[in-house]
């Protein structure tokens, strides 16, 4: 670089992630429920955003508490799985350990109330709600998440803490916050639609207030930005929940067999994490990522146990 050449300008950046939107748009039903949010945005999302200021492309510089994750603690009596509450808590702990000072988790809460709502009549599916019978329901609502996200982003922009806010959500409740940031500050606004569907259109009410829009995240990006299986720190390490592996039933069966042979969970994972010559030198844990691979691992394990008698 020539002496005196201008250094590329960087924008002080924070990312605001709508946890509810992110889970249902990117993670539910996938193999990627253990995401390293900091790595995802630092290494994949932000480098893909071309931002121009004064005729020059600029880069994003992540600040302290650069990724702010807005979520709500699952209520056990409304959880779909027996380990949903503990698995969510384990994930939050892993994020804090892995990125202490770089990720901030802001929690709202869930409200569960009894209510009455119009019931869709199978015989008259097009009937208006006012013409339908009202039936008792449980109403589950996430509280404060979108409000917290909007206020934090607007506050940071108005107090000149940031040059660049990145909103990861497709929730139209955030439109007023984005509009006010654009009207009252010179802060650059980025919008990331948390979906894996490249065909899904971003909400235009949100997109019109963004300087740039990332329309989807890829499976490859999500796969490349996963936390380690074991995150050290504190009195005990934090371990990825067994139910969050791609095929939990097959994984549990393989783990049970490995513990039976090796004698403990830790020794079972030592075998999972080591290349196996009988599996073409591949790691059993990697093979367990696919159904075919898991079946191959299980077939080898069962055969080995039979041969040992």
- Tell me the residue range of the domain where 16 lies: 10-112+140-231
Q: Could you count the other beta carbons within 10 Å of the beta carbon of residue 230?
A: 13
Q: Are residues 104 and 177 in the same domain?
A: yes
How is residue 229 annotated by DSSP?
S
Whether 79 and 218 share a structural domain? yes
**What is the structure's pLDDT at 3?**
43
74 and 152 both lie in a single domain: yes
- pLDDT given at position 137: 81
Domain final residue, candidates 231, 266, 300? 231
Residues 34 and 92 occupy one common structural domain: yes
Q: Which stretches of the chain are assigned E, i.e. beta strand? A: 10-18, 51-53, 56-72, 103-118, 134-143, 164-168, 188-192, 212-214, 230-231, 238-239
Segment 180-239, tens digit of pLDDT: 999 999 999 999 999 987 767 788 999 999 999 999 999 999 999 999 999 998 889 999
Whether residues 152 and 221 share a domain: the answer is yes
Mutual angle of helices 291-308 and 248-262, in 10-degree steps: 30
Q: Report which of residues 93 and 117 the model is more confident about.
A: 93
DSSP conformational letter for 282: B
Phi, then psi, of 149 in degrees rounded to 5: -60, -45
Number of H helices, E strands in the chain: 11, 10
Q: Assess whether 57 and 17 both reside in one domain.
A: yes
287 & 225 share domain: no
pLDDT recorded at residue 1: 36
Looking at the structure, tell me whether residues 227 and 259 fall in a common domain. Answer: no
pTM: 0.88
Render pLDDT for 238-247 as a digit per residue (tens, 0 to 9): 999 999 998 9
Question: How many C-beta atoms lie closer than 10 Å to residue 241's C-beta?
Answer: 18
> In angstroms, rounded to a whole number, what is the distance separating the alpha carbons of residues 146 and 169?
9
Closest CA to 13 of 190, 182, 210: 190
Residue 294 lies in a domain: yes
Tokens 């949100």, located at residue: 206
Query: Same domain, yes or no, for 98 and 176?
Result: yes
Can you give the CATH number for the domain in which 81 is found? 3.40.50.1010
The more confidently predicted of residues 11 and 234 is: 11
187 and 40, same structural domain?
A: yes
Nearest to 166 by CA among 217, 225, 112, 115: 217
CB contact set of 44 (below 8 Å; sequence gap of 6+): 217, 221, 224, 225
Of 63-77, 155-169, 197-211, 290-304, least confident by mean pLDDT is 197-211
Is pLDDT at 32 greater than 90 in this prediction? yes
Pairwise CA distance, residues 124 & 120, whole Å: 7
d(Cα 168, Cα 298) in Å, to the nearest integer?
39
Number of domains in the chain: 2
Q: How far apart are CA 104 and CA 106, in angstroms?
A: 6
4 pLDDT higher than 60: no
* Residues 177 and 293 grouped into a single domain: no
Q: What is the mean pLDDT of residues 59-64?
A: 91
Residue 223 lies in a domain: yes
């Amino acid at each position: 670089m020539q002496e005196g050449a201008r250094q590329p300008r960087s924008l002080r950046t924070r990312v605001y992630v709508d946890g509810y939107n992110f889970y249902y748009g990117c993670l539910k039903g996938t193999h990627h429920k253990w995401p390293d949010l900091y790595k995802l945005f630092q290494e994949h999302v932000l480098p893909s955003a071309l931002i121009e200021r004064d005729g020059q492309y600029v880069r994003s510089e992540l600040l302290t508490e650069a990724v702010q994750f807005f979520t709500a603690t699952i209520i056990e009596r409304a959880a779909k799985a027996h380990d949903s509450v503990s698995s969510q808590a384990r994930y939050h702990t892993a994020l804090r350990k892995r990125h202490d000072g770089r990720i901030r988790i802001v929690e709202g809460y869930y409200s569960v109330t009894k209510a009455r709502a119009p019931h869709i009549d199978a015989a008259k599916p097009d009937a208006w709600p006012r013409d339908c019978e009202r039936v008792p329901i449980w109403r589950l609502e996430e509280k404060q998440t979108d409000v917290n996200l909007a206020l934090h982003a607007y506050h940071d922009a108005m107090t000149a803490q940031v040059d660049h806010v990145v909103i990861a959500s497709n929730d139209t409740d955030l439109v007023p916050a984005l509009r006010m940031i654009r009207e009252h500050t010179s802060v650059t606004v980025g919008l990331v639609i948390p979906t894996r569907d490249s065909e899904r259109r971003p909400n235009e009410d949100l997109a019109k207030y963004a300087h740039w829009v990332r329309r989807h995240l890829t499976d490859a990006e999500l796969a490349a930005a996963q936390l380690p299986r074991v995150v050290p720190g504190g009195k005990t390490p934090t371990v990825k929940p067994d139910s969050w592996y791609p095929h939990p039933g097959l994984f549990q069966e393989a783990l049970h067999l490995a513990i039976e042979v090796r004698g403990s969970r830790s020794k079972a994972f030592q075998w999972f994490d080591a290349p196996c010559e009988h599996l073409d030198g591949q790691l059993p844990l990697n093979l367990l990522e696919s159904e075919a691979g898991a079946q191959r691992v299980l077939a080898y394990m069962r055969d080995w146990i039979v041969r040992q008698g």
